[in-house]
Amino acid sequence: MSKENKSTAISPNLLSVLLIILGGSLFVGQSPFNDSRPNKASLSQLQQAGFKSDIDARLWQDPFEAIANQNVNSQGYQQYKDQKELIKTLQSHLEDIPDGRQIVIATLMPNGHYQEDVETRRRIRYAVLSGLIGNSKQEYGPSDEEHIGYVNYLLNKSSTLIAFEHLVWKAQPMARSPEAEKHPPILLLYLDSKAFGYEPLKDLFKNLRKLYEKNNKLELNVLGPATSDDLQAMASEALKVGKPKDAPLFRMYSPRATVDEGKLMYGNQAATAHQPSNLAEHFKNHLSFLRTTATDSQLAGALSQELELRGVRIGDQAELAKPTKHVVLISETESLYAYHIGTTFADALVETAMNGKHSFGACRDPMISTAGCANYLQKYVHQYTYFRGLDGKTLRGQSSTSTGNKSGNNDTNSAAEASKAMEHADGDSQFDYMRRLTDRVEELEQELEDHDQAIGAIGILGSDVYDKLLVLQALHAKFPDVWYFTNVMDARLLHPEQNEWARNLIVVSSFGLQLPPALQTRIPPFRDSYQTAYFLAAQMALWDSNHEPSEATGAATACDTTKRQQLLDSEVFNQPALHEIGRSKAFPLDTDTGKTDRQKCDALGPMETLIQSGGDLSDTASTPDSAAAQPFSRFPRLTLKILIGAFVLIGLGLYFRRKIKIATAAKLPVKAAVLRRQRVWLLTAFAIGCGLAAFVLNTLQTEPLALIEGVSMWSTEAIRFAALVVTVYWVIETAKFPLLLWEQLNFSGKFGVSADNRCYAHDRYLDRRLKRNMHVRRISILTFLAWILSFVVILSLGVPFTPYRGPFVYYLDLILLKAILVPAFLFLMISVTEAAQAIIQFIRTIPRAAPWPASMTKEYSDTLNIDAAYLQDWVTIRLVGDMTQQTSRLISYPLFAAALMVLARMSYFDNWHTPPGLLIVIGFCIAYLFYCDFRLKALADETEQNAMKNLRRLSIANHGNVKDSSLAGKLTSLSELAERYAEGTYKPFVQRPIFQGMLLIIMAAAIGYTDYLSIMMKVLG
């Protein structure tokens, strides 16, 4: 009956297999490393006398912890050393140096005995040694890589540990060469920053000067201080100390103190015209000062501009966001740094709102002062604080148990009991404060929603990454659809255990985890951005100590420390590193730094490499002009892309050429015309897709490029474009369904020739019903109404969160999804369901009493050699079966398109969260498709069963027929043939196309189940 029963559409089975393979690949993660080193050495350690090898210590160990952990009482090293003995000890290392020249680098280490303090000192030492040893041009190495020296020194009437180690030039030949004089040995001192009392600058001068008086060929450098409090104390003390008679004693590099220099020197007051504008100018009469990190205000300025790219700007509605946005800042509050960090970021948000591309409306009113506008905007920033150590861990280790959980064995408690114990409002654990703070922010959100406003971003600011992760964990479940940001890049944010709440976290920091390759060389990426700053400071100290000033004159040599700091701020630190945490790594966020004319300065050293790299401080910074140096490096990849595109085009052309040739040979002109239109559409879509891809890949886009790292909308847009392609592809076929149906069933013109014939009437009824239901005007009107209703439902339950970055991808998503894909999908769904309803009504009205016309039974009568009078039920089974098969395939099309649309919103691609309104709309569409398929299947089964009963009845009734003894056997064979046909056509639900489409939707929903869980928790409370 049907000349070709195979589907002309893209194979749903192939699509299912591909998507299931993709879904399975998303679960492949990283495996943790397994350490194989024994915990204890197999051989006893030998203690050597003298200060050169006091303590066993790896190069990465915290020097103070190594000293504290080793039992040295029997060695006699616990006695106090007076200043003369200390100077004598350190000077003894200069005896083997003919000219006495030595580089001394004193690192001010943070005080403290908590785990985070130990880790900080461990990281500082690692970074400083990496900056000195990892410099391939200087070729330094440790003189004793397994030990570290120390003295217990009396300073300000209290004892303090001073750890030290030596670095030597490893390229030293046997015979002394002039080159060795350019690489003097390095003495590294590790000093407790808190041991210098209330006058740290004076104590540093006093103690380092004693070294200097013994040998004026020392190059003294200080890396520090470790905190902004200590730096402020030094700056304050510099006002009291008179100008030294001779040259500054030492150079200071500040890699960790980040409080804005204006606030550090003058508080909330502005500097006058005669006051220094930065610390380099403030210290210039006492020492050479250089800050090798960005200030908090520079970080805050970059972060506020980043939020504006994502539609979050306080005050008026942002350019790309509808609700008025508020920002919540949660910060620690224990130090000078903590005191200023929240207000610094709040001021930057206000500054962006006042002076951005679209300034706040009230600020444009000349009657309102700038101060008044700023004060008004502060109400859009909500600040909260916490104390460090939220986990309650003290020097004893684990936090003490709460009073509600003191009894019983803690080790045997279940996970649920441990979770309940965390919320008890007593004991060392501070989790209960976070729970109440979360509730307070949630109440704020409810108040804002009542005024058509919303929280756009939440910032967690501080120095303790463990606290930040706990705050993120507390907030993320309640507020899954806002942006989160923090300061200081830390590798602990990338751990898989933290990915559930740390992914999509925006991190602003002075640097990434590494510098450009020209500076980073062979050193692996660090653990945090502070290490990167120390690494750079150590390289700067070494370069300044060994640098020979240029003989050139003019602007190149007129760059003093003050101008050098200004140059670094304008060219490097005003464009700090921005990253977004992905599933396995941090993705750098491109910023438009621009190129500016700058003053040449030969005193920059390693900083010049940063400036030459365009100020790119992210982890992917490359050497400058690398692409220009290799003009043909992109040629093979471009050729490969062209070849792939050519193969795709050739494959599409050959496929459709074959299908059109088969349809033409089978005398199916309608199908051939549909195939030609589908071919044109696919070729057009392929050209558009290639053009968009080329534009995105070859232009600077704010949105990062990543496939399944969860930080890029481009994967989502690609899937949505694919959904649009297949939707329009199926719309082309569905629009011609009435003609295709009769042509493929080969029933055209076989329903009789007389208007008195009831079959002819039903033929006309189906034709009219299909034309009416599937008229373009009718479908378009229903599509428009459904489109309006869908958005009303979605918006009434909350505006869907779109994780865009920049206007281009925002408008692309807006046009592609809302203006094209959704209407096309609704058009397809309505066309399919209207066609299904027409077929259902036709099957209902199939005449059971009146015979089918001879034109429909003649072909089977000739083939089966059975009289046409006995073939009425067989024709009914074939007709209804083929109609059901064609219509069921049609109903599955919208489900496959919906599966792609659901897949595009998976959190594996970006920070997508499906709102309840969208779930309702998608659920209704799926339910209606299932309803149509269920009605069609139920009615077809009923018709098939009745026809089968009639066939069996005829077979039984004609047993023993004298006139035609073979008729009974023929009818029995016909019944068996009908049963076999019914088994292949009237399939159960799990074998139908609609079930396969539903499986894809279930798979996509299951992979991103955490999104739905977070949303439901937010809706249900």
457 close to 485: Cβ distance less than 8 angstroms: yes
Percent of the chain with pLDDT over 90: 19
pLDDT confidence of residue 554:
41
Q: How many CB atoms lie within 10 A of CB 468?
A: 27
| pLDDT tens-digit readout, 451-498 | 888 899 999 999 899 999 999 999 988 898 899 999 999 999 998 888
DSSP string across 465-516: HHHHHHHHHHHHTT-TTSEEEEES-BGGGG-GGGHHHHTT-EEEESS-SS--
Look at residue 243 in the predicted model and tell me its pLDDT. 58
Q: Is the pLDDT of residue 792 over 60?
A: yes
Select the highest-mean-pLDDT range: 312-316, 338-342, 616-620: 338-342
Which residues 6+ apart lie within 8 Å of 281 measured at CB? 562, 565
The set of residues, in sequence order, having a beta carbon less than 8 Å from that of 842 and lying 6+ positions away, is 762, 765, 766, 769, 883
Which residues, 6 or more positions from 623, have their beta carbon under 8 angstroms from its beta carbon?
516, 517, 518, 613
Residue 965 CB partners (closer than 8 Å, separation 6+): none
Here the contacts of 841-845 (C-beta below 8 Å, separation 24 or greater) are 841/769, 842/762, 842/765, 842/766, 842/769, 842/883, 843/880, 843/883, 843/884, 843/936, 843/939, 843/940, 843/943, 844/939, 845/762, 845/765
* 880-902 core/surface letters (b: 16 or more CB in 10 A; e: else): bbbbbbbbbbbbbbbbbbbbbbb
| Residue 408 binned pLDDT confidence (cut-offs 50, 70, 90) | very low
Give me the pLDDT at residue 641, please: 73
- What residues contact residue 546 under an 8 Å CB cut-off, 6+ apart? 103, 138, 182, 183, 184
3-class DSSP state of 358: coil
Please check whether residue 503 is in contact with residue 587, taking contact to mean a CB–CB distance below 8 angstroms.
no
pLDDT for position 492: 92
Distances in whole angstroms, Cα of residue 98 to Cα of each of 90, 183, 216, 286, 801 = 16, 13, 14, 30, 69
pLDDT confidence tier of residue 266, bands split at 50, 70 and 90:
confident
> Residue 596 above 80 pLDDT?
no
DSSP state of 397: B
Strand partners, 485: 459, 506
pLDDT at 224 (0 to 100): 85
Paired tokens of 259 = 């409080």
Which of 137-141, 436-440, 557-561, 800-804 is the most confident on average?
A: 436-440
User: Which residue, 910, 817, 799, is CA-closest to 456?
Assistant: 799
If you count them, how many residues does the chain have? 1021
In degrees and rounded to multiples of 5, residue 286 shows phi and psi of: -115, -35
Average pLDDT of 1-18?
45
- 35: enclosing H helix or E strand: none
Average pLDDT on 414-422 reads 50
Residue 329 has pLDDT above 90, yes or no: yes
In angstroms, the CA 540 to CA 290 distance is: 9
User: Which residue's entry shows tokens 């003609």?
Assistant: 739
Element containing residue 587 per DSSP (H, E): strand 586-588
Highest mean pLDDT among 336-345, 412-421, 959-968: 336-345
Q: How many CA within 13 A on the CB side of residue 990? A: 0
43 pLDDT band (50/70/90 cuts)? very low
Return the structure tokens found at 840. 């259902």
**How do beta strands 577-581 and 506-509 pair?**
antiparallel
Q: Any idea what the Cα angle at residue 30 is, between residues 28 and 33, rounded to 5°?
A: 150
294 vs 774, more confident: 294
CA distance 149 to 56: 9
Enter the pTM of the model.
0.82
Exposed (0-12), middle (13-18) or buried (19+): which is 241, by Cβ within 10 Å? middle
